[in-house]
Chain A
Amino acid sequence: MFSFILRKLATVIPTFIGITLVAFALIRMIPGDPIEVMVGERKLDPVMHAAAMQRLGLDQPLHIQYFRYIKDLAQGDLGISLVTREPVTKEFLTLFPATVELAICALLFAVLVGLPAGMIAGLKRGSVFDHGVMGVSMTGFSMPIFWWGLILIMYFSVTLGWTPVSGRIDIEFDIAQRTGFLLIDSWLSGEEGAFKSAAMHLILPTIVLGTIPLAVIARMTRSSMLEVLREDYIRTARAKGLAPTRVVVVHALRNALIPVITVIGLQVGSLLGGAVLTETIYSWPGIGKWLVDSISRRDYPVVQAGILVSATIFIVVNLFVDILYGVVNPRIRSAK
């Protein structure tokens, strides 16, 4: 098992180096440098421009800039934001929990609804419920989520007035940051109504971000369930006279979950992408919105860090999925 994990780790390292290169190169290919963007329309004195570039270390040759970047990175230093002059790590740590909180809620929503729905649809193949689940999930899969977000705001926030339009919590609450997850922090603060407010703010973004993963998970669970139910060992289990629930839950579900786990892992990537749109619609102060804003401000270190971190999350989650795969299925572990 240990050598299996090591083997998987070894394949990740070149990918990671590649990503640092891409993150570094992409942002420098964008026309216009950060000083020009900061100054804006006004005329820029070339001497001052050169001095500012030197101060930021942007006058050095590219390879030297890259190696300095890698050296800092190895020490956990992501640089200093060119716009706010704050360390990127610090800014990142205040915004990242917002995105993680949203992503976890969305994924939970997707798994808690999608898994049982797909399972029942698979068990009752051809029933009205099956057709319903397939129809809804196909629609969810085809949904332009930025529009879906607007429609939900239109109906639940504007027409019914049930949920707030944007943000993470009502401004009247001043919650001390402990974990960064507002659901937990507002609960700990003990302020009346704070938790409710945080939860209400989460509902619509969670649904919007969770829609596509939900659809994918439901479809995958259904088809995987159908496949497993045809296997010989299911027939054997039934022939032995096991209770139908036991056959489904113990024998079928465990095997049907293997491809579903992979799909959930892959959905993390789409969650990060979806976060950019969802956070924009709901003015959610997370890394998706921060990144989009930083690209337009040419804030090199922030964009570099953002690309690096989101890619790293994707890699780590999928590495974890690969390892989990090995745990669930010993045959994969020994395969070269």
Chain B
Amino acid sequence: MTTQVQIADVVPSYPSPLKEFWQSFSHNKGAVVALFIFLCVIFCGVFAGWIAPHDPVEQYRDHMLTPPSWAEGGMSTFLLGTDELGRDILSRLIHGARISLFIAFMSVLMSLIPGMVLGLLAAFFPKGAGTVIMRVMDVMLALPGILLAICIITILGPGLINTMIAIAIGTLPSYTRLTRAAAMAEINKEYVTASRVAGAGALRLMFLTVLPNCMAPIIVNATLGFSSAILETAALGFLGLGVQPPTPEWGTMLSAARDYIERAPWVVTMPGVTILVTVLSINLMGDGLRDALDPKLKRAA
């Protein structure tokens, strides 16, 4: 009698998947701190219009190249100083968060979804479509990413949407390969055979039976893809091919700042530190995610 009561007590207290995930994730202190920083960046991006102390494109002609407030000659109205046209750097960075996060998010989506579809196709039809898809991916993988992106932007012209497309095309092969590899491992398992025998069509097998079981590595890769997309957006902006001025984009800000390296180092330092902190927090978060989602990798790393 007593044993029965005990079992009844134990079963409902089994943690929900979400809670279990959080327990795993919060084990990694760095990842939790990174998550907090990243949420701050997202918050800045979403509410940029309310948080930013100044208009990001407003030029205060009387206060060009004002140093940060803590430095000599700094002003409290311009916390991080102003750039060569007298624009408030802090406000530009806050608005830049919106642009960078938006481009990164969209480009990850734009390569993740086609990548998953192509990877599943390649896994399910290894003879015909699979061979063709994987050969094309090999070719794309052999081209240096930034060079491919530069070519694509030169074809399409610089700008916000074209930056997303260029980055998305460059990262497509990694998602395709990853999905294919994960799907190949699942495809011969019994539950897939069972589903097939039960009469499930190819589409159902692909997207409802196999895909959910391949998600862990894909999610981890998408996190890392998000951070490299931010880096690549900034690199293209730095080369003058990304988002065009006066739009406040982190890389574009750096590109303009190059000439002021000696006179106004803060113009160079601030955008770079922002990029570094953002990318670092996403990567640390990715590590935590990988540990939480993929227990097999946890022991290895």
A-B contact pairs, 26 of them (CB 8 A): A18-B139, A22-B139, A22-B140, A22-B143, A26-B151, A138-B283, A142-B282, A144-B279, A146-B234, A147-B254, A150-B258, A223-B300, A223-B301, A272-B144, A272-B147, A273-B146, A273-B147, A274-B146, A276-B144, A276-B150, A276-B239, A277-B238, A292-B150, A303-B151, A310-B147, A314-B143
Asked whether B239 lies within 8 Å of A26 as measured between CB atoms, the reply is no
Interface residues of A in 100-154 (CB under 8 A from B): 138-139, 141-144, 146-148, 150-151, 153-154
> Does B19 interact with chain A (Cβ within 8 Å)?
no
**Contacting pair A29 B276 (CB below 8 A):** no
* B258 & A273 in contact (Cβ 8 Å cutoff): no
Across the interface, name the chain A residue whose C-beta is closest to B139: A18
Query: What residue of chain B has the Cβ atom nearest to residue A227's Cβ?
Result: B300
Whether A65 sits at the interface, judged by CB under 8 Å, is no
B227 at the interface (CB under 8 A from A): yes
Asked if A27 is at the interface of the complex by the 8 Å CB criterion, the answer is yes
- Judge whether A295 and B269 touch: CB under 8 Å: no
Q: A147-B234, A272-B147, A277-B239 are in contact. List 11 more A-B contacts (CB 8 A).
A: A19-B139, A26-B151, A139-B280, A144-B235, A144-B254, A144-B272, A147-B268, A295-B154, A306-B147, A314-B142, A314-B144
Q: Taking the complex as formed, is B145 at the interface, i.e. its CB lies under 8 A from any CB of chain A?
A: yes
Return chain A residues, CB-CB under 8 Å to B287: 138
Q: Could you tell me the distance between the alpha carbons of A317 and B116 in the complex, rounded to whole angstroms? A: 28
With A and B bound together, what is the CA distance between A274 and B144 in angstroms? 9
Pick the contact of A307 from B147, B272, B280 — CB < 8 Å? B147
Instruction: Kindly state the separation between the CA atoms of A227 and B271 in the bound complex, as whole angstroms.
Output: 38
Interface centre among A27, A144, A148 (most CB of B within 10 A): A144
Indicate whether A15 reaches chain B with its CB closer than 8 angstroms.
yes
B275 near A: Cβ within 8 Å?
yes
5 tightest A-B CB contacts, nearest first: A147-B272, A18-B139, A273-B144, A142-B279, A142-B280
* Residue-wise interface mask of B (239-263) relative to A, using a CB-CB cutoff of 8 A (1 in contact, 0 not): 1000000000001001000100110
Whether B138 contacts A18 by the Cβ 8 Å rule is: yes
Residues from 253 to 301 in B contacting A, C-beta threshold 8 Å: 254, 258, 261-262, 265, 268-269, 271-272, 275-276, 279-280, 282-284, 287, 300-301
Is there contact, CB below 8 Å, between A150 and B155? no
Find out whether the CB atom of B150 lies under 8 angstroms from the CB atom of A295.
Answer: yes
Chain B residues near A148: list those with CB within 8 A. 272
Instruction: List B residues at the A interface (Cβ < 8 Å).
Output: 135-136, 138-140, 142-147, 150-152, 154-155, 157, 227, 231, 234-235, 238-239, 251, 254, 258, 261-262, 265, 268-269, 271-272, 275-276, 279-280, 282-284, 287, 300-301
Q: Which residue of B lies closest to A303 (CB)?
A: B151
> What's the interface size class on A, roughly?
35 or more
Scoring B140, B144, B301 by chain A CB atoms within 10 A of each residue's CB, the highest score goes to B144
Partner of B143, one of A139, A292, A295, A311: A311
Residues of A at under 8 Å CB distance from B?
14-15, 18-19, 22, 26-27, 29-31, 138-139, 141-144, 146-148, 150-151, 153-154, 158, 223, 226-227, 269-270, 272-274, 276-277, 280, 291-292, 295-296, 303, 306-307, 310-311, 314-315
Give every chain A residue within 8 A of B271 (Cβ-Cβ). Answer: 147
Q: Is the interface of B mostly helix, strand, loop or mixed?
A: helix
Of the candidates B147, B231, B272, B283, the one whose C-beta lies within 8 Å of that of A150 is B272
Question: Looking across the interface, which residue of chain B has its beta carbon closest to that of A212?
Answer: B231
Select B261's contact among A31, A141, A150, A306, beta carbons within 8 Å. Answer: A150
Cβ contact within 8 Å between A151 and B135: no
Minimum distance in angstroms from A296 CB to a CB of chain B: 7
Q: Name B262's contact: one of A158, A292, A296, A307 (CB within 8 Å).
A: A158
Known contacts: A150-B268, A158-B261. The answer to whether A15 contacts B139 by CB under 8 A is yes
Minimum CB–CB distance from A133 to chain B (whole Å) comes to: 14
With A158-B261, A291-B147, A311-B142 as known contacts, state yes or no: A151 contacts B269, CB within 8 Å: yes
> In the complex, what residues of A have CB within 8 A of residue B301's CB?
223, 226
Q: Are A142 and B283 also in contact (CB < 8 A) when A30-B155, A147-B276, A150-B272 are?
A: yes
Interchain CB contact under 8 A, B138 and A277 = no
Contact check, A142 vs B146: say whether CB atoms are below 8 A apart.
no
Nearest-neighbour CB distance to chain A for B20, whole angstroms, equals: 24
A146: contacting residue among B140, B145, B238, B282, CB under 8 A: B238
Q: Are B261 and A29 in contact (CB under 8 A)?
A: no
Q: Is the CB of B283 within 8 A of A277?
A: no
**In the assembled complex, which residues on chain A have CB atoms less than 8 Å from the CB atom of B146?**
273-274, 276-277
Q: Which single residue of chain A is at the shortest CB-CB distance from B142?
A: A311
A153 and B139 contact, Cβ closer than 8 Å, known pairs A147-B275, A276-B146, A276-B150:
no
B283/A141 in contact, CB under 8 A: yes
Structural contact, B280 and A295, CB atoms closer than 8 A: no
CB distance from A291 to the nearest CB of B (A): 7
Interchain CB contact under 8 A, B261 and A153: yes
Closest to A306 in B: B147
In this complex, what residue of A is CB-closest to B138? A15
Most chain A CB inside 10 Å of its own CB: which residue of B142, B258, B262, B301: B142
Task: Provide the bound-state CA to CA distance between A273 and B262, in Å.
Answer: 28
A9 to chain B: closest CB distance in Å?
A: 14
A226-B300 contact, Cβ under 8 Å, with A15-B135, A138-B284, A273-B145: yes
Which residues of the other chain, B, contact A31 by a CB distance below 8 angstroms? 155, 157
Are A27 and B151 touching (Cβ within 8 A)? yes
